[in-house]
Amino acid sequence: DSVDKVEPKHFFKSITSDKDNKQVLFQLNEIAFDYLYFFENYFKLNLREFCSLTTKGAKIMLRLLVQFNNLPKGKNGLKELVLNIDEFRKILKNNALDSYEPKYLKSRVLSPAIKELVDDKRYFNAICCELLKEKKAISSCRISFDDSNRV
């Protein structure tokens, strides 16, 4: 028989390969969908570049912006990404940075990350991060960036 079946424990319920038809079929566990959704475009990350960063905030920002490299440029020549605060906190929480109060988020996480990513223009030409308020509470985060120096 030309069909092999493997049953891994964590992400896949089963993997079936059919050599005659040159097909591989994956049956995913439900938890795998969460991971695949969250890491959908992160596979395009240069590991050497990622490991060269020194702060968690810079690594989070790099990973976030790299996955949105296909955004169109706005009138100001920058790409713009707007995340509601829940999405933004989810990204930070998954990286153990959710403990920062919103008033310290910019000074202790975002500003040092942006400085590291833009300092010598090795990663990005420009990044601007703005915490937007609605009714005196932070409602979203707007990140504008120029990645035209990235290959």
* pTM for the whole structure: 0.65
Alpha-carbon distance values, 88 to 13, 49, 92, 141, 151 (Å): 31, 23, 6, 7, 26
Write down the pLDDT at residue 46.
76
**Nearest-angstrom CA–CA distance, 116 and 83:** 22
Q: Which residues of the chain have pLDDT under 50?
A: 6-7, 42, 95-97
For residues 12 and 18, the answer to whether their CB atoms sit within 8 Å is: no
Write down the pLDDT at residue 12.
76
